[in-house]
Amino acid sequence: MVKAKKYLIVFLAVSILTVLLDQLSKYAINKVWPEWSLRFLSIHFVRNTGAGFGILKGQMGILAFVSALAALAVIFFYKKIPQEKIPQILFGLFLGGVVGNLIDRTLRGYVIDFIDLAFWPVFNIADLAISISVIGLVLYYWRK
């Protein structure tokens, strides 16, 4: 039981930290509207009304519903997540990323994106957390 509680704390800490970093970075970008550019990286404000790669533009209701459903599924099925550090961290990242973008969709009506690598669609901390978690989970379950 102590082990399960330890992993729940890891899961919650990662989820909450991800949401906080995501929302604080979006708050700062929204206030400052920076235009920074290096050779391979640009930071600038982008108002995204769709999902990744420009799909479902203007479909905030559908995207918010799917995000809420995904977050609730992770919470509902939490007990099925292996009691190991890596899956707890990865599912925590996933939940935090989904909730971070869900907050934007419901409160702003769009998602703030700001990290631009030029060869990839502009993204944010929540998107990064979701991407890392999905890749990590695919590798984790593939090895199992």
> Are 97 and 133 within 8 A, CB to CB?
yes
Query: What's 77's DSSP letter?
Result: T
- At 132, the amino acid letter reads I
Catalytic center residues? 113, 127
Q: What is the DSSP string of 38-93?
A: -SS-EEEEEEE-S-GGGTTTT-HHHHHHHHHHHHHHHHHTGGGS-SSHHHHHHHHH
Q: What strands lie across the sheet with 42-48, from one edge to the other?
A: 35-37, 42-48, 111-116
